[in-house]
Amino acid sequence: MSPDRVAAILDFLALADRLKLVERRGRIPLPDGTTRRENSAEHCWHLALVAVLMAGEVAEPIDLGRVLTMAAVHDLVEIEAGDSYAYDPAAQATAAERERAAADIVFAALPPDLAARLRAAWEEFEAGETPEARFAMACDRAQGFLQNVLSQGLAWREHGVAAPTTHPRMQPAMAVDPAFAALIGALYARAEAGGMFAGARG
């Protein structure tokens, strides 16, 4: 590699490191009984692990390398756009526009060939039309739901998210494959049993 290309890659990796500073609404339980907010980089790692574990469980063969690339890049736009909470209608209404503008900035920091490759992976994830993109979407939504269960539904209750509110987001993930229906269904059962949703009796 040329010195200029090496420098550009290192500069981009430094930019990408800022994803660790983007906080999500999901909470991480700590050993002392408190919680802290999950960051988007942690989410991407956990999503990737979900993908590795689920790749052999689904009926349709998927290209795991493509899925992991999407896992790595799908939230890089949040460096500029911030995280848009899934259950915040106002944030969701402007998310696509803000994230597309952010993608123009973030991916432009790379050499053109790498910019095109990473932008294409981000676009594939956003479009959700390929088997890999649908699988990645299901992993993404399963991870977010899992994080809420691990933290006993704290963010759900803080933001008034009742179980029916989650259905439009989670049903498409469950429909990807029976394996995702089983995984997410088990999470719903745990959440319901634990009274984790807003308005739950417990």
Q: What is the pLDDT of residue 122?
A: 97
| CATH of residue 51 | 1.10.3210.10
Could you tell me if residue 78 is inside a domain? yes
Structural domain contains residue 161: yes
How much of the chain, in percent, has pLDDT values that exceed 90? 89
Does the residue 115 lie in any domain? yes
- Of the two residues 182 and 86, the one the predictor is more confident about is 182
Number of domains in the chain: 1
In a domain, 199, yes or no: no
At residue 84, the pLDDT reads 84
The residues with which 29 forms a beta bridge, in sequence order, are 35
| CA gap 191, 185 in Å, rounded | 10
Between the CA of residue 76 and those of 32, 58, 104, 158, what are the distances in Å?
31, 27, 11, 26
Q: How far apart are CA 194 and CA 78, in angstroms?
A: 32
For the stretch 21-44, pLDDT in tens is 999 999 999 999 999 999 999 999
pLDDT of 188-202, one tens digit each?
999 999 999 998 765
Q: Write down the pLDDT at residue 70.
A: 98
**Which 3 state secondary structure label does DSSP give 201?**
coil
Amino acid 95: pLDDT: 83
Give 128's DSSP letter.
T
Whether 27 contacts 154, CB under 8 Å: yes
Residue 33 is assigned to a structural domain of this protein: yes
Residue 136 and residue 51 in contact, taking contact as beta carbons nearer than 8 Å: yes
Mean pLDDT of the chain: 95
Mean pLDDT of 90-112: 92
- Under the banding of pLDDT at 50, 70 and 90, the label for residue 162 is very high
Residue 91 pLDDT? 82
Q: Which residues pair with 27 in a beta bridge?
A: 37
State which residues form the domain around 141: 3-193
Q: Is residue 125 in a domain?
A: yes
The tokens for 65 are 């390398």
Q: Assess whether pLDDT exceeds 90 at residue 121.
A: yes
Main-chain dihedrals φ then ψ at residue 23, nearest 5 degrees: -90, 140
- Tell me how far the alpha carbon of residue 67 is from its chain's centroid: 12
Cβ within 8 Å of residue 162, ≥6 positions away? 197, 198, 199, 200
Q: Quote the pLDDT of residue 86.
A: 87
Task: Tell whether 55 is covered by a domain.
Answer: yes
Report if residue 52 sits inside a domain: yes
Residue 96 confidence class, pLDDT cut points 50, 70, 90: confident
Q: How far is CA 108 from CA 15, 112, 119, 196, in A?
A: 11, 7, 9, 42
